[in-house]
Structure 1
Amino acid sequence: MQSHFLTWIGKTLDSRYEIKSILANGGMGAVLLASDNHLHKEVVIKVPFLRNSNHFEELIQRFKREIHVLSILEHPNIVPIMDAGFFDEYPFLVLRYINDGTLRSKMEKARLQSNAYSLENFLHWLPQISSALDFIHSNNWFHRDVKPENILFDSNYNPYLTDFGVSKNLSFDHENLSRSVFGSFIGSPQYMAPEQHLGETITGKSDQFALAVIIYECISGKLPFSGINPVSIFLEITKQSVIPLKKHVEKIPLTISDAVMRALSLNPDQRFESCGDLCSIIIEELKLLDFHHDNNEYFHFHPIKVPHAPEVVDSQMVLEIQAFCLKLIASKTLTKNLYKDLRVSLAKFRKDEHLIAKMILDILDFYTMSGLIEPTNIVEIISEIKKIIPFLTITAEAGPSPS
């Protein structure tokens, strides 16, 4: 599919947009750089992946949703739509080209240079992005995928909110799920509020939660919920096992730390009434700091550490997990006894901080709500286990696979 869009380079869409290059490829579509031959400026062309897709209708609906949102929600800090059309049987969207990278790229640049992401930078983007979010919320829209990759900057450091493909309007959109029909999360798990993970009603406070995650990550260099898969992230968020921001950065003002932690509350009612309220507390406190002195007086940057599964897997642990899977297939239900038995058998591996053992137990906690229920979706459970141990010789339908 990506190679298909390579054939677009050099072609002109609607006798106007000459494709120059591919800026990005994602799971849902491609982002292309083009030259607008009418306005003589560079623009962005956004195209969904459609061919050979088993989820054609959902992809089309997401794309139509983004076009609709951008056409009605005009705000100085939302990337504006310029045009839309069809080419080679693909719908496309034309957006202003915001040319100075994302918040993520600026955070990564600071990390790679072992520097701080300056607290002063918040003064230049947090009020504007908070305003954009409050604006869409006042129109009964919710973004649902607020993250550093979706905050863009132009060459004057003006920030823009982008990517409304999974946004939601409660006035006419009755979807109430955290996942799409083809199983992928609607949103990015590390930034999703608890209610979004659970498929419950979302509000503007769900986007506020995501904004608080970004602020936490910018200040500390760490994600507050850094599980290694969606299951472990979900458990961390719902158990609220987040380290207070001030413990990462001792010299950060307590007022800022407390405000971010409040916006990360499990209960939406305990968060701020708006993103602007959260922003105001942070900005007012930052204005009291003297940025003419060394920024590290207030801030120490910690590189983000992403845990990885070990290359060598303990053979005894694999045998324990395979035996569990066979019992699971035979019983057709993840009973409380099976759940308890595997926790006991993997305890020695978990005590040694074996990452895979923790991941497997996280999966069981997710599907049983920490042992409270007995799920019957065995195929899905074993599929998740095999994502962690791909060479496990088990199939949910037929037991052990042929060697």
Structure 2
Amino acid sequence: MSLPSDTLHPASTPAPDPDRPDDPDATVVVPATPLPPRVSQTLPTGSIANGAPVRQVGRYQIIDLLGRGGMATVFKAHDPDIDRIIAIKFLHAALCEDEQYRTRFLREARAAGGLSHPNIVTVHDVGEIEGRPYMAMELLDGEPLNDLMESRQPLPLKEAMEITLQLARALDYAHARGIVHRDIKPANIVRLKDGHTIKVTDFGIAHVSGAGGAGGEQTRVGDVLGTPQYMSPEQTLGSAVDGRSDLFSVGIVLYQMLTGQRPFESDSIVALAVKIAREEPPALNKQRPDLPPTVRRIVERCLAKQPAKRFQSGKELADAVLKVLRDLDEEAREKARARIVPLRVKWAGMMALIVAAVMAASATLISQRQNAALTEQVMDYGASLARFIAAQNAVSALEEEWVPVEVTVQEVMKSGDFQSLTVIDRGGVVRAAGDVALVGQPYKAPSASRLAALAGGVNVARHRLANEEDVLQFEAPITFQGKAVGRVVLGLAEKPLVRVAQLSQMLMLALVLVTVAAVAVAMYFVANWFARPIKQLGDAMSELAQGRLDHRIGEKRNDEFGLAYEAFDAMAASLQARYGTDEEPLPGTGDAPPPDSPPTEPLPRRSEATSEPS
């Protein structure tokens, strides 16, 4: 069990004087008139039965000392009337000497005992034993907020806002009943073991207004009550306070949760009071730049020096905090959605992949067939030219009249349509060529790879020039009356054929890309149309999960989604008929709050924890 470090102390350790002016963390009670000297006892006399270590005080069996504060001492005790372990708080004997303080403690304790809220500690009994006022309350199973902030590290934003929301709701409930706490600080806020629910404790110096409280004598103007580090400006001045003073203290607690440090700090109470009354705290956006502007505005409004500029009620503050929490939840949901691939994207991508695969296979097959057809056409064209040139020069080759042949070859080469043209006699000597340097030289066939043998004795081969260009070579015999009298070797550059093939491939690729894009876009919008009713159904199920059993889709569709909508509405109606009353909660939901709001209901079980003294 953890104890608040600034107000509770183990029984074996002497408690510091909480009224010291140089201890700004202690709960301070400075009355308008001096109090008598403090007396030493912490409990009424009571009795010790049979020598047992348990002291009987009234009907209560005191088990252990939990801690001491500025106004009271808290003990762990057993209440036989309700057979429960409780925390019992006794007003310090020194304060009991002042009749006004004793009367006020009892009156305000009884008023606090009338509060019943899931975020306020439950008071079981109030009374006096041997002139010592006491308050018996539930013993909480949790730890004070100041223990959580011991490391001076900021709390996560959502956690801080959930605590603030519950604190604002608790104070709004108390203020509506005329109770002003006046000592809101981390040590008086206990977070239960469930990790979510908080309880506001220590209404020992609460103020009861005439309108909503028990009536009677009010706190005297000039009394300073509270913990200096968390006081409002009007508290430091001893002025009259109302619920807006508590909201200023909430702003200090929220600032501390968000930054890990208090907005106002000093070594002396006087300097601290001046800071609270006159100076602005360090800018929150410099302390923690990642905070949303709405959070900074909430803190700034809580810490306004003039009460009229603060939130005017706990409900106003709670509404502002709840909006921030909803924004955080929506942001978290958006991030969660970003980690999934939307159905419309999946479907569009899937169809695009299918179409792309089909189109790629088809385009590849078409390109191969087209290239083969182009190559065959070029080979037929080259072979025909080679046979034609051979036929035209057959007589000259037979009579070995090579001059006309040379003239013809040079004229043909001027057209630029051929890469090379060579005429060879029956002895293998070059007699005419596009390259005149070869004339009269024995013909040396270049290194080539044979491609095909065509009609008319034409052989087709491919060879590569020194400039890395490929040439299709057509070799045709020169015949006269069936007798070979020479050869013609015609060379056609393959580059134009390659360009045509590449152009064909580019056009085919463009067709594939356009088709795939069109299918993907069309499928995206089709899938988006399907996604809308799915989202509508999901939203309706979320409403149901949050306990809104009266929610219905109520939309008629003439398709499978319409059947799903009707099934949902029927299910919701059945659940509402069965669980739509407070007597029987929806299974699986219990007391859990909706996702856009932190839990404010208490857990069914309560066990031990500290109840904070003043």
Tell whether the structures are fold-level matches, with TM greater than 0.5.
yes
Q: In structure 1, the residue corresponding to 2:225 is in which secondary structure?
A: coil
Alignment partners' CA distance in 1, 2:159 and 2:222 = 32
Task: State how 1:178-327 maps to structure 2 within 5 Å.
Answer: 178-179=222-223, 185-289=224-328
1:50 aligns with 2:97: no
Q: In structure 1, the residue corresponding to 2:277 is in which secondary structure?
A: helix
Alignment partners' CA distance in 1, 2:96 and 2:77 = 29
Task: State how 1:4-403 maps to structure 2 within 5 Å.
Answer: 4-5=42-43, 10-15=54-59, 17-50=60-93, 55-108=97-150, 110-111=151-152, 115-156=153-194, 157-171=196-210, 172=215, 173-179=217-223, 185-289=224-328
Alignment partners' CA distance in 1, 2:161 and 2:70 = 33
Alignment partners' CA distance in 1, 2:285 and 2:175 = 30
Quote how far apart the aligned CAs of 1:210 are.
Answer: 0.7
Alignment partners' CA distance in 1, 2:124 and 2:178 = 23
Aligned residues: 283
Stretch of structure 1 that moved more, 261-270 or 56-65: 56-65
Q: In structure 2, the residue corresponding to 1:241 is in which secondary structure?
A: coil
Alignment partners' CA distance in 2, 1:147 and 1:164 = 12
TM-score, length-normalised on structure 1? 0.63
Alignment partners' CA distance in 1, 2:273 and 2:73 = 29
Quote how far apart the aligned CAs of 1:55 are.
Answer: 4.2
Q: In structure 2, the residue corresponding to 1:288 is in which secondary structure?
A: helix
Alignment partners' CA distance in 1, 2:41 and 2:115 = 33
Alignment partners' CA distance in 2, 1:56 and 1:12 = 26
Q: Which runs of 5+ in 1 are unaligned?
A: 180-184, 293-403
CA-based RMSD of the aligned residues comes to 2.8
Contact 1:18 1:36 in 2 (8 A): yes
Answer 1 or 2: higher relative contact order, Cα 8 Å, separation at least 6: 2
Q: In structure 1, the residue corresponding to 2:266 is in which secondary structure?
A: coil
Quote how far apart the aligned CAs of 1:123 are.
Answer: 4.8
CA spacing shift, 1:50–1:119, aligned 2, 3 Å: same
Of Structure 1 and Structure 2, the greater strand share is in 2
Alignment partners' CA distance in 1, 2:62 and 2:238 = 39
Q: Deviations over 1:72-116 (max 9, x none)?
A: 3322222121123444553322101112121112211x43xxx54
Contact 1:28 1:59 in 2 (8 A): no
Q: In structure 2, the residue corresponding to 1:233 is in which secondary structure?
A: helix
Quote how far apart the aligned CAs of 1:31 are.
Answer: 0.1
TM-score, length-normalised on structure 2? 0.43
Alignment partners' CA distance in 2, 1:75 and 1:96 = 13
Q: Which runs of 5+ in 2 are unaligned?
A: 1-38, 47-52, 334-614
Alignment partners' CA distance in 2, 1:66 and 1:233 = 28
Query: Aligned residues: percent identity?
Result: 29
CA spacing shift, 1:203–1:89, aligned 2, 3 Å: closer
Counterpart AA for 2:178: N
Alignment partners' CA distance in 2, 1:194 and 1:270 = 13
Contact 2:44 2:57 in 1 (8 A): no
Q: In structure 2, the residue corresponding to 1:284 is in which secondary structure?
A: helix
Counterpart AA for 1:158: T
Counterpart AA for 1:134: D
CA spacing shift, 1:80–1:4, aligned 2, 3 Å: closer
CA spacing shift, 1:178–1:228, aligned 2, 3 Å: farther
Q: In structure 2, the residue corresponding to 1:186 is in which secondary structure?
A: strand
